[in-house]
Amino acid sequence: MQADQFFELLWQDYISRTPSAAKVHQVLGQGNEIINDHVAFRTFNIEPIGLESLAKLFEGMGYFANGDYHFEEKKLRAKHFEHENPNLPKIFLSELLVEKFSPELQEFVHSIVAQINPEDVKQPEFMFSGTHWDIDYSRYESLLQESEYAAWLSTFGFCANHFTVNVNELNDFATLEHVNQLLKEAGFTLNTSGGEIKGSPEVFLEQSSTMADEVDVQFSDRTAKIPSCFYEFARRYELPEGGLYTGFVAASADKIFESTNKVN
Ligand code: OOG
Ligand code: NI
């Protein structure tokens, strides 16, 4: 599959559970096209869906890995991928270090991953294939106690966790402060963990994000309204040696992960 077609299908799947995405484009794009900086995905570190296995799908579309990130507290690791075509979004792909959790969580995660047909993991479409298993609401709640990431991934499966507006490419809003202001005026709730703006010109990247939309999810035993996906905003800065910084900042990413937390 061509990258262009992949991102079009991925976007259609993403907006189906992220009603605010269209409003973000309306507020910031004002009729102009929005360029995305990156798209993020989550997975478990269990075959056949480990980070390096899913990376092959992106490598097959011309992407290459260009950064490693570690999240001690949340028990995650991640890599980012870039494409030689600068118009294609970067990819931020993280995986949960399942062996670091309780035997109950490990057993459940292994049982749901075992239901994935390894053949399905060979096609880029796998990245928006959702769940391949059933989960009931009490399991979701018990996973939440240990890891919001595990609960989210077990419920939504494979899909874009967020798209990210490339703020450098916006016509009228040069600063992230201004972007945030417009979003708040439009009624969005921003992620304030670690401050509304994560990062700084000194680390060559500033990021902010909305808190995830809450949507009705059909669990195997009942329906419940829970956080789904969100939108992120990134402004990149010029490196001393020239060119915009293309990496991510682990301390900032650590806070962006919390955009799928429930807003009280
Ligand atoms: C990824 C969070 C990190 C970034 O841009 O730093 C991230 C996630 O929530 O899955 O997207
Ligand atoms: Ni991101």
Query: pLDDT for 72-98, tens place per residue?
Result: 999 999 999 999 998 999 999 999 999
List, as ranges, residues with CB under 5 A of the ion ligand 2: 40, 232
Which domains, ranges and CATH numbers included, belong to the chain? 3-260 (3.10.180.50)
Distance 39 CA to ligand 2 centre (A): 6
Whether residue 166 has its Cβ less than 6 Å from ligand 1: no
Distance 247 CA to ligand 1 centre (A): 12
Cα–Cα distance for residue pair 91/82, rounded to 1 Å: 7
Instruction: Provide ipTM, 2 decimals.
Output: 0.99
Tokens of 102: 């309780």
Query: pLDDT for 7-27, tens place per residue?
Result: 999 999 999 999 999 999 999
Residue 174 pLDDT > 90: no
- The reported pLDDT for the residue numbered 135 is 98
Question: With contact defined as beta carbons under 8 Å apart, do 165 and 37 qualify?
Answer: yes
**Given the CA of residue 248, which atom of ligand 1 is nearest to it?**
6
From the list 202, 229, 179, the residue with the least C-alpha distance to 15 is: 229
Helix (H) or strand (E) holding 36: strand 36-44
**Given the CA of residue 207, which atom of ligand 1 is nearest to it?**
5
Please tell me the pTM assigned to this model.
0.98
Q: How confident is the model at residue 32 (pLDDT cuts 50, 70, 90)?
A: confident
Query: pLDDT for 128-168, tens place per residue?
Result: 999 999 999 999 999 999 999 999 999 999 999 999 999 99
Distance 221 CA to ligand 2 centre (A): 32
